[in-house]
Structure 1
Amino acid sequence: MIALRFLALLFVIGLTVLIYAYSNQIEKFKAYGYPGIFLVTLLANSTVLLPAPGIAFVFAMGNLLNPFGVALAASVGGTLGEISGYLAGFSGQAIIDRINIYKKVEPFVSRYGGFAVLLFAAIPNPFFDLAGIAAGGLKMPFLRFLFFCWIGQLIKMTCFSFAGYYSINWIIGN
């Protein structure tokens, strides 16, 4: 079990470093439509505790493609990307317990479970990684985590997609 946790932690660290190193290549995915949106949000949400530009991409693509399709692709990609935070919590509990802000997020996730995950996923904030880490550390059932994370991501991505759809046209004057 310790070996599995260690491998999961190494995977998360390696993935975060890789994504951060190639973050300038993310712009090339615009030409790939919905699969590109899925991939960009998957990568942006795979980083743990490092910001990546996924929401801005969803905002921009909401103006270029069907905003419902953008929201759906982005929410699925974002949810699958958040598995890295869950795995970090599952594997590295002793390290995470030392982070002060985690000490405030973990009791909330412990008390409210999936609804806390949904809330943190729906609100654009840098603390969702901590909620995912807490869910993994608390051994929340994996499919439950994915379900509530996806609902929250869908709410957030729908808001940003439609914000892009309406505001860019308004700014340009079309």
Structure 2
Amino acid sequence: MKATKIAKYSSLYFTLALIISLVILYFTYPAFQDAINELWKVLKSGDQDKISSTIQGFGAWGVVAIILIIILQMFLVVFPSWLPMIAAALVYGTFSSILISSTGVFLASTIGYSLGLGVSENALHKFISDKTFDKLNYWVSHYGFWSIVLFRVSPFLSNDAISVLAGGLKMNYIKFITATMIGIVPLATAIAFFASDIETLKTGLYWIGGAGILFYGIFVFIDHRKRKG
């Protein structure tokens, strides 16, 4: 029984160990702290040229820096989620940036899910009512997969709260991460191809997000009526 429990929460233990290691590294290794502070400052400025040049300055560690940015952004939403993806496209090109962005979101989503997995049902009930909990369970059971796809494909909805929620409600991990990748790969691809034309990209992302919400709303409405019929 004990071995089963350890196996079940191994991803959570790994996530916590990774976070603790990064925190220790930040406070004990000045070069790492300076690099993170510089990168954070440049990202908050939103200046694409500065972001690209800063990442290029990291050399071979630039890929790691972008992935770390994506992970941090999904938990500390202080700049648009698509900004590090644009930086990846400008620095590394179309196909490499798709792989880098997808990897970053994969890791961030897994970390969020793992943290949610460590939250017990009793703990969830302390923050939400039984009625709300039942509704969330119903939603995850029936619409969780496509809800996650929608949140990933639309950068204006995407945040890792949905990853924590999926973990907290014990959604199947394979189902969760599959939905995540189905949503994020098209988004990363669109960003990679149009990164050089920000205005066109923004317009396209608004259209993608709006169309996704519309079609998803229609689907849920029709399906919900069928279930009640």
TM range (shorter): 0.5 to 0.7
Verify the 8 A CA contact 1:120 1:127 in the aligned structure 2. Answer: yes
**2:12 pairs with 1:8:** yes
Match of 2:37 among 20, 24, 39: 24
Task: Write the distance in 2 (CA, Å) between the matches of 1:135 and 1:69.
Answer: 29
TM-score with structure 1 length normalisation? 0.67
Per the TM alignment, residue 24 of structure 1 is displaced from its structure 2 partner at its CA by: 2.5
CA distance in 1, matches of 2:70, 2:179: 19
How many residues are matched?
Answer: 167
Which protein, 1 or 2, shows the higher relative CO under an 8 Å CA cutoff with sep ≥ 6?
1
Q: In percent, how many aligned pairs have the same letter?
A: 22
Q: Does 1:149 align with 2:180?
A: yes
- Name the CA shift for 1:105/1:159 in 2 (closer, same or farther; >3 Å): farther
Query: How is 1:129-148 mapped onto 2 (pairs within 5 angstroms)?
Result: 129-148=160-179
Give distance in 2, aligned partners of 1:96 and 1:129. 17
Aligned pair partner of 2:194 in 159, 163, 169: 163
Q: Whose Rg is larger?
A: 2
Relative distance call for 1:142 and 1:38 in structure 2 (3 A) is farther
For 1:74 and 1:141, how far apart are their aligned partners in 2?
23
- Summarize the alignment of residues 10-159 of structure 1 with structure 2, pairs less than 5 Å apart: 11-12=15-16, 15=19, 18=23, 23-24=36-37, 26=39, 30-31=55-56, 36-37=62-63, 39-45=65-71, 49-51=75-77, 55-93=82-120, 94-95=122-123, 98=127, 108-125=139-156, 128-159=159-190
Distance in 2 separating the partners of 1:37 and 1:77: 10
Identify the range of structure 1 (114-123 vs 57-66) with the bigger mean alpha-carbon deviation.
57-66
Query: RMSD over aligned Cα, in angstroms?
Result: 4.2
Asked if 1 retains the 8 angstrom alpha-carbon contact of 2:149 and 2:180, the reply is: yes
Call closer, same or farther: CA 1:126–1:60 in 2, change over 3 Å: same
* TM-score with structure 2 setting the length: 0.54
The answer as to whether partners of 2:86 and 2:195 remain within 8 angstroms in 1 is: yes
Per-residue deviation, 1:96 = 5.0
C-alpha distance in 2, partners of 1:49/1:99?
21
Which residue in the other structure is 1:171 paired with?
Answer: none
Mapped contact 2:116–2:164 kept (Cα < 8 A): yes
- Of stretches 27-36 and 70-79 in structure 1, the one that deviates more from structure 2 is 27-36
